[in-house]
Amino acid sequence: SALAADTIVWKSSGHGPATDPSQIFHDKLCEAITKASGGRLVIKAFVGGSVVPATKEIDAVDEGVLQMCYTCPMYNLDKWKAAGLISSRPGGLPGEALRTWFNYGGGAELMNKMMEGYNVITFPGALSPLPGEVFLHSKVAIRTVDDLKGLKMRCSGDGGEILANMGAAVVFLPGGELYEAMERGTIDAFEYSTLASNWDMHFYEIAKYVILSASRAPSDPQCFFVNKQAWEKLPDDLKQLVQDEIDKWTQAQHEYLVYNSIEAVEKFEDYGCEVYRLPKEVENALLEEAQKYYTEKAAKESPIYNEILESMNSYWEAYSSVQ
């Protein structure tokens, strides 16, 4: 049916392939907003890579090619080094702590401050923290720090730089290219997302070892971003509706993945994968390297980098004291 003359149409893209739960929840959210608005705001959902290259969604929102996207902050280190802090990073905030910091502890405001000068905004409720990521899916077992040396692996964000400092041969590839890259031997190991997401993407077929540790990525945040001009043009009631629906669906995705990641352990094992915890020796070495990395980085990065790092660290201290 033809759209009414006063209908507002937005285009929104996820960052993952169609099998990625974050893409599925993105699509459900777009449908929910369209329905809840009575068709006044129609959000057309696109899969990652279909409008712009996967992981370049925020650039498209900034340019007005998209009005909204759902992506990982760490895919935008080319614009903002501080984006690596609000991401799946070693020593970062785990799930609930990250979401409460973002919603109530000033996180969303700090992200907007970081993005000043771009036509992109976010808001409380827009971040889904997700449970801790799988440390690695790998063709080879990681038992010692030396096993990381020379390992051809896909890793993104600050975690990638830290693992490269530890001797890994790190490359970056979008999630939709990982299966083929493992099959071809371009890489021998990779990190991507949660146990639940990675099961849905059939990664059990390409890597025998599923190595667990929250040290590299205690959460795997995805966040909704909107074009500033498109947002300002929305009537207030639709702004509220968009925020309410996004808040609901980002929390729903988090809970879904927490539950399904627990169930996924057994699925990986039943398939024949070896699921085990990363030895403490490797975990401690990574956290030590991470601390060194952030101390050095904070000394040379912009003031917003330090502001975000200090805000997250002080929130974690306060959060930990009451848990």
Name the superfamily (CATH) of residues 134-218+262-321: Bacterial extracellular solute-binding protein, family 7 (3.40.190.170)
The stretch 171-195 carries a mean pLDDT of 95
pLDDT higher than 60, residue 36 = yes
Cα 19 to Cα 30: distance, rounded to the nearest angstrom: 17
pLDDT higher than 60, residue 277 = yes
In the prediction, which pLDDT does 58 show?
98
Model confidence at 323, pLDDT cuts 50, 70, 90, reads: confident
In the prediction, which pLDDT does 2 show?
53
pLDDT higher than 60, residue 194 = yes
Model confidence at 65, pLDDT cuts 50, 70, 90, reads: very high
In the prediction, which pLDDT does 91 show?
85
The b/e string for 97-112 (b: 16+ C-beta within 10 A; e otherwise) is bbbebbbebbbbebbb
Stronger pLDDT, 323 or 1, i.e. the higher one: 323
pLDDT higher than 90, residue 254 = yes
The stretch 238-266 carries a mean pLDDT of 97
Q: Is 187 in contact with 193 (CB distance < 8 Å)?
A: no
Cα 67 to Cα 82: distance, rounded to the nearest angstrom: 23
Helix-strand-coil split of the chain, %, nearest 5: 50, 15, 35
Q: How many CB atoms lie within 10 A of CB 232?
A: 10
Q: Is the fold of 8-130+220-260 the same as that of 134-218+262-321? A: yes
Model confidence at 4, pLDDT cuts 50, 70, 90, reads: low
pLDDT higher than 90, residue 88 = no
pLDDT higher than 70, residue 281 = yes
Looking at the DSSP bridge assignments, the partners of residue 190 are 137, 154
pLDDT higher than 80, residue 10 = yes
pLDDT higher than 80, residue 93 = yes
In the prediction, which pLDDT does 1 show?
46
pLDDT higher than 80, residue 82 = yes
Burial of 146: CB neighbours in 10 Å, binned 0-12, 13-18, 19+: exposed
How far lies 39's CA from each of 1, 31, 133, 224, in Å?
11, 10, 37, 21
Taking only the tens place, the pLDDT of each residue in 112-163 is 999 999 999 999 999 999 999 999 999 999 999 999 999 999 998 899 999 9
| Angle, vertex CA 170, rays to CA 167 and CA 173, nearest 5 | 170
Specify the CATH class of 8-130+220-260 in words. Answer: alpha beta
What is the residue whose two structure tokens read 């935008």?
76
For the chain, the domains span 8-130+220-260, 134-218+262-321
Looking at the DSSP bridge assignments, the partners of residue 170 are 153
Residue 114 CA to chain centroid, in angstroms?
A: 17
Model confidence at 3, pLDDT cuts 50, 70, 90, reads: low
Concatenating the DSSP letter of every residue in 83-97 gives GGTSSS-TT---HHH
